[in-house]
Amino acid sequence: MPGCPTPPQSAAFGRAVVFGACGFLGRELVRLLLDSGARVLGVDTRPWPGALPEGYAHEAGGEAALGQAAAFLRQGRAGLAGCSGSCSAGQGGLPPGPPLGEEGYDCAGAAQDAGRAGLAAFFHMAGLADAGACQKNPELARRLNVDLVAEALAALSGVACAFVFPSTGIVYGDALGRPAREDDPLLPAAQYARGKIEAEGLIRAACASGPLRGAIARLSNLYGPGGGENTVLGRVLAQVRRGEPLRVWDESPVRDFLHVADAAEGLLCLGLAANALVPGSLVPGSLASGPLAEGGCLTANLSTGAGTRIGALLDLAAELFHTSRLPQEREPDPAARVSSLVLDNARLTALTGWRPGIGLAQGLRGCL
C-alpha cells in the first residue's frame, strides 16, 4: 500500500465483507483487500463483473445477505452449511476452509496466520451516493443511507470487527474558507449530508460498547476510472471522451479531488486503526488513546488536503487531453461568495501515516 506505512503481516485483515462490492469504491476495496491477502465476501444486488477472483466470494444481496456476512466474519458454526444458495463460496470463487474443530467450518477458509485471521472488517459501501438523487427522493435516500446502516449494525451486534463507513465532507458546508477539520461544526444543508450525519450517530452508538469498532471516513470529492458523470469532474471527463470542448456551469468553486485508489487505501488504514480499539488487537494500542478516539469509534477526514479551483481543473484537463475549453455557462459575479470545500487530513495521517499517493494530473490520465 503506497499510501500508508507497510504494516506487519499481523496488522492486516484476515477476513472482510464489502457491502456494496460492485460500486465505484467497493470494487477498488475488493481489489486492495485481495492484494493484501484477505479473504473477501462481497455483497451486492448486482453480479460481480466477470470471473470471481481467487479469495473472493459473492453474495447476491437479499434478506439473508447481512446474516451471511455476520457468519462469515464470526467464522463460527454457520460456515459453509449456513451459506445461502447465492453465495459463491466453494463454487470457484473462494475455496472451502478446513475444519475448525469445535467451532465448525469456515466459510472463507482459514488465513495462514492465526493472529492475522483475527482481524476482520465490514466495509459499508452500499447506499445512494448521488446528492442530487437524495434531494429528489428523500424517502429512498433515508432507506439506503440510514436504515440500511441500522440493519447492518444490528446484524453485526456481538461481532468483533471494524465497521468502516464512508461519510462525506459535505457535512461541513462550503463556507469555511479553509480546510475543514473533524471538530468543526456540522452544517448539513442537503438531504445527503443529513443522512450521513444520522448514520454516523448510529455507528457511534453501536460501537460505544461491545466488540464492534467504528471507522468513519469523511470523504472529499472522489474520482477515478469507472466513476460516474454525476460529479463535476465526471462530467468534464465525459466531455473529453465525447471530444467536446470543456465547459462547466461555474468555474469558481474550489474542491478537494481524491483518487479512488487512495480513498480505498485510506479506508483500509482507518479500519486497521479502529481495530486498535478492540482488546487484544494487533494494531499498536497507542493509536487508540487521546482525542482522536471517540469511545469505540474513530472519525477522520479522507482527502488530499489540497484545493483545486474548477477553472484550474478545466485548464489541466484541456492541456492533458489536447482539447479546447469554453467560458463558464454562468455569468461571472465578482461579488459572489466562493464555494470552497477542502478537508484537512492531518488526523488520518496522525492515526495511520496514510497520505495520498496519486496527484491530480496522474489520476486524470488514468481515467481514460
Spatial separation of the C-alpha atoms in residues 19 and 43, rounded to whole Å: 5
The per-residue pLDDT for 75 is: 77
Residue 1 counted as domain residue = no
Domain of 126, in residue numbers: 15-221+259-303
* 334 in Cβ contact with 252 (< 8 Å): no
Residue 340 counted as domain residue = no
The residues, ordered by sequence, that sit 6+ positions from 254 with a Cβ below 8 Å of its Cβ are: 307, 308, 309, 310, 338, 339, 340, 341, 342
Residue 295 confidence class, pLDDT cut points 50, 70, 90? low
- Is residue 335 over pLDDT 50? yes
Residue 245 counted as domain residue = no
Residue 310 counted as domain residue = no
Check which CATH number belongs to the domain holding 49 and give it: 3.40.50.720
The per-residue pLDDT for 117 is: 55
Spatial separation of the C-alpha atoms in residues 124 and 149, rounded to whole Å: 8
Residue 354 exposed, middle or buried by CB count within 10 Å (0-12, 13-18, 19+):
buried
Residue 58 counted as domain residue = yes
- Mean pLDDT value across the chain: 84
Spatial separation of the C-alpha atoms in residues 180 and 172, rounded to whole Å: 7
pLDDT in tens, 299-326: 999 999 999 999 999 999 999 999 999 9
Residue 125 counted as domain residue = yes
Cα dihedral: 121, 201, 341, 320 (round 10): 20
Residue 278 counted as domain residue = yes
The per-residue pLDDT for 17 is: 98
Read off the pLDDT of each residue in 218-228 and give the average, rounded to a whole number.
96
Residue 144 counted as domain residue = yes
Spatial separation of the C-alpha atoms in residues 128 and 150, rounded to whole Å: 15
Spatial separation of the C-alpha atoms in residues 78 and 58, rounded to whole Å: 17
pLDDT in tens, 18-39: 999 999 999 999 999 999 999 9
Calculate what percentage of the chain has a pLDDT beyond 90: 73
Spatial separation of the C-alpha atoms in residues 355 and 349, rounded to whole Å: 6
pLDDT in tens, 48-81: 999 999 999 999 887 799 999 999 999 733 333 3
Domains identified in the chain, total number: 1
pLDDT in tens, 230-258: 899 999 999 999 999 999 999 999 999 99
pLDDT in tens, 79-121: 333 333 344 433 333 333 333 223 322 333 333 343 445 699 9
- Is residue 332 over pLDDT 90? no
- Is residue 351 over pLDDT 70? yes
The per-residue pLDDT for 61 is: 80
Phi and psi at residue 195, to the nearest 5°: -65, -40
Spatial separation of the C-alpha atoms in residues 339 and 335, rounded to whole Å: 12
Q: Grid coordinates representing 287?
A: 493509536
Helix (H, G, I), strand (E, B) or coil at 159: coil
